[in-house]
Chains A and B, each alone.
Chain A
Amino acid sequence: MFDDRSPIYRQIADRIKADVLSGALKADEQVMSTNQYAAHHRINPATAAKAFQQLVDEQVLYKKRGIGMFVSAQARDMLRAQGRETFFGEVVDPMVAQARAIGIPLADVVRHIEQHENRGV
């Protein structure tokens, strides 16, 4: 489930952020407790707690005393804005480099993307 090549707390945080972005986790929805999460994914509870705390610090989650943790109302918009900032550097540039390496003209790449636009996807 989690790999051993980067801190697990970061992998957990990334996964929850991905769920918020995709809409699998909705605003004000309760997330699993750290102990449930630890048991389910077979990870150390302190590691899970660290991930959840980071998400609280980043205002992706908020705590309700004695009840649990919930997705903040602004979490999705905030993560979308952050994703937009890094999208070209982290997604498009490597794709362009890959296209060049294997000899696909950028015009073909652009045309392909435009087809998505025309289909309204």
Chain B
Amino acid sequence: MRVEVRGLTVRYGDVTAVDDVSFTLEGNKIHGLLGRNGSGKTSLMSALAGYRQPAGEVTVDGLPVFENAAATRNICLVRHTPDAADKGDKVSHVLAYAAAWRESWDDGYARELLDLFKIPFKTKAGELSLGQRSALGVVIGLASRAPLTMLDESHLGMDTPTRYAFYDALLADFMAHPRTIVISTHLIEELASLLEEVLIIDAGRLVLQEEADVLRSSGTEVTGHAPDVDEFTAGLTVLSEKSLGRTKSAMVYGPVGQERLVRARQLGLELGPVALQDLFVHLTDPVRGAA
């Protein structure tokens, strides 16, 4: 499955939720779509799922997704509020509805997941707890086995042990049935090790698309005597700086280069790695644009 997005823009009145975004998702990978609240994650995923007519292009294996039943049958989007279900519908009915949509649906697996998440089959969706409703969304997402499966913060309503059960189920099922998975979240730490690729969006724009392990080596924190730190960071992308007395520490993004590393040693600067979560925070920092 190849997902191509070209010049995608989503507007609500005067508000531009997604602003001229282009990217390609290729191969069967688990992608993380990371962005702050209101950054455009949900609008972007809705357009990928064909829920709205795009300004720009959204194609799956070369075909536009909007009003294309053949394409959307291969796509499953689960939102953070399980909206598929009428609150009066029983869980069994919600699943039957989800199953009716797609050939790839695995009913046996759906039942296994219901057991795992302790969701009663005959209960009405409206009577489930928040955690159970989130889990029901995840059950639909996983059991759909859709070639493009998108989970829009679906797991955020779960408690911690349930989230870990979800991560394990996701990994096991992904390995058994490789497909393109996109998970959006603003809580990165827990999920980061599961991701192969990361897309960061901010204020409707794509900030970066990168292999997760490459990102983990893309940040450097440098600490030392303030003028020395300034010399080191000159010409680099500085994400953040803070000073304490004569000591300064700066977070830089991108390759540092061998020469600079040698110079850092001469200057006695301390260099350290930057966690993915911190990179994300600073790459989407609202203060940075104004600085």
Chain A residues engaging chain B, CB cutoff 8 angstroms = 2-9, 35, 38-39, 41-47, 50
Contacts and interface: CB of A to CB of B under 8 A. Distances in A.
B213 A39 contact: no
The CB with the most chain B CB atoms within 10 A, among A7, A9, A38, is that of A7
A7 B192 CA distance: 11
B216 interface: yes
B128 to A, nearest CB: 26
Nearest to B195: A44
Contact of A47 (B164, B172, B196, B272): B196
Interface residues of B, number: 26
Contacts of B167: 42
B216 A5 contact: yes
Contact of B193 (A5, A42, A50): A42
Contacts of A2: 193
A38 B30 CA distance: 13
A39 B175 contact: yes
Contacts of B187: none
Contact of A8 (B29, B175, B193): B193
A7 B193 contact: no
Contacts of A8: 193, 212-213, 216
B275 A44 contact: no
Interface string B180-201: 0000000001001111100000
A47 B213 contact: yes
Nearest to B279: A4
A96 to B, nearest CB: 16
Interface in B147-184: 164, 167-168, 171-172, 174-175
| The 3 A-B residue pairs with the shortest CB-CB distance in the complex, in nearest-first order | A5-B273, A7-B213, A43-B193
A44 B192 CA distance: 9
Contact of A4 (B174, B196, B216): B216
A7 B214 contact: yes
B276 interface: yes
A6 B196 contact: no
A95 to B, nearest CB: 17
Contact of A3 (B29, B174, B217, B275): B275
A75 B212 CA distance: 29
Contacts of A41: 193
Nearest to B272: A5
Contacts of B277: 4
Contact of B213 (A38, A42, A45, A50): A50
Contacts of A39: 168, 171-172, 175
B194 A42 contact: yes
B213 A9 contact: yes
16 contacts: A4-B216, A5-B273, A6-B273, A9-B213, A38-B171, A38-B175, A39-B168, A39-B175, A42-B164, A42-B168, A44-B195, A44-B212, A45-B171, A47-B193, A47-B213, A50-B213
B256 interface: no
B271 interface: no
A45 B192 CA distance: 13
A7 B275 contact: no
Contacts of B217: 6-7
Nearest to B167: A42
A7 B272 CA distance: 13
B21 interface: no
A7 B168 contact: no
A18 to B, nearest CB: 19
Contacts of A5: 216, 272-275
